[in-house]
Amino acid sequence: AIAGMNGAQAQDYPARTVTIIVPFAAGGPADITGRIVADIFSRHLNQKFVVENVGGAGGTLGALRAARAAADGYTILSGHLGTNALAPAFYPNLGYDPQKDFEPIGLSAEYPELLVVRKDFPANNLAEFVAYAKSNSGKLNAGHAGLGSVSYIGCLLLNAAIGIKPTMVPFTGTAPVLNAMLAGEIDYECDPVLGTLSQVRAGAVKALAVAARKRSPMLPDVPTSYEQGLPEFDCAPFYGVFVPSGTPQSVIEKLAEALDKGLSEESVQKRLADLGADIVEPGRRGPKPLADLIRSESARLMPILRAAMEK
C-alpha cells in the first residue's frame, strides 16, 4: 500500500467518506455482511462508509485493489476466509500477501455453509445427493463465486469427500449463483447460510445439509453433514474487516473500537442472528484474535484443500 498520512490527519479520521470494498457481487453473504459493517462504522464514527462491490477472481480482485490503496483508512476491505487466508492455495501469483499486506481490524461474523440444490433436483437429503451425484457427476453444474471464494472452498470439500468432478461454474458472487439456480441452470451450491436462507424458507430451493457440527437455529430441520455421515463437508467461514498495512495505529484503533461497539448492540446482534451468523463474542473481537484466526485457519485448512484439489 501507499504510505498514508501524518499524525494530525490520523487524528481527524474519518474526515471524509470511506469506501468499503466488498470483493463480491451485491446481494450475497459478503455484501450483506459488508453493509452491516458499513452501517456500524457510519453510526459510530459519524461519517459515511459506502460499499463498493468489486467482484471477480474469487474476491481476489477486490482484495488486491484494497491492498494497493493508500494506507490512510479511507479504503477498507470487508474480506473473509478466502480472500484473507486461503487465497494463496489457489493463486500462485496472487499479487498480495493476505498476512503481510493487510492489518486486521476484527471479525465481523461467522456463518456455517449450506448445501443447497435447485427445487426439482432429484435428492432430498445428503445420502440421496451423494448417490445421484456419483452416477451423474459429468452432468452436474455447481455454481460458486470464483476460485478461492468460500462457496468454491465448500464445494471443493464436498466434491472431494464424495469423489465427484462436476462442472464448476464461476460467478462474481453467490447472489448471481442463486439467480441461476432459481432459473434451473445450476444444480447446487455451497454458500454461507444467509445467502439462500429466504429462498430455502420459501421453498424455492432445497437445503440438504449444514456444513457444521451443529444445526443452524435458523433452519432447525436441516440436518448437519456430521449427522449425515459426511464430516469432511465442514465449512464455516469467518468474515472480517481489513485495512492496508501501514495504516496509522490510531486509525486501526478507531475502527476496531467502532466495530466492537457495533457488535455489542442488540439490534446488530439480532440482525446477524436472523441471518444465521455465529455472533463474535467480545473476547474474539479486535485485530489480534483475527490475526490469530487467520494463522490457525490457514495452517489447518491449507493441507486439507491441497489434498482435496489433488482428488
Cell 492455495 sits on residue = 89
Give least dist CB 254 to ligand MLT, A.
27
Nearest distance from residue 33's CB to ligand MLT, in Å?
8
> Which CB sits closer to ligand MLT, 30 or 162?
30
CA distances for 251 relative to 4, 35, 57, 247, 290, angstroms: 11, 20, 29, 7, 17
Task: Report d(CA 218, CA 203) in Å as an integer.
Answer: 14
Smaller CB distance to ligand MLT: residue 110 or 191? 191
Residues that bind ligand MLT in the complex, under the rule CB under 6 A = 24-25, 28-31, 59, 82, 145, 149-151, 173-175, 191-192, 195
By beta-carbon proximity to ligand MLT, the closer residue of 149 and 216 is 149
**Cβ-based nearer residue to ligand MLT, 177 or 252:** 177
If the CB atoms of residues 11 and 167 are measured against ligand MLT, the closer one turns out to be 167
* Ramachandran class of 59: left when φ > 0, alpha when ψ lies in -120 to 50, beta otherwise: left
CB of 208 to ligand MLT, least distance (A): 18
CB of 66 to ligand MLT, least distance (A): 15
Distance from C-alpha of 208 to C-alpha of 86, rounded to nearest angstrom: 26
Encode burial over 76-103: b for 16+ CB neighbours within 10 A, e otherwise.
Answer: bbbbbbbbbbbbbbbeeebebebbebbb
Assess contact for 216 and 222: CB atoms under 8 A: yes
**Of 14 and 62, CB closest to ligand MLT:** 62
* Least Å from the CB of residue 268 to ligand MLT: 19
* Closest CB to ligand MLT among residues 29, 112: 29
* Cβ 225 to ligand MLT shortest distance, Å: 18
Smallest separation (angstroms) from ligand MLT to the CB of 176: 8
Length of the chain: 311
Q: How many whole angstroms separate alpha carbon 151 and alpha carbon 235?
A: 9
Nearest CB to ligand MLT, comparing residues 174 and 224: 174
Residue 58: CB minimum distance to ligand MLT, A: 7
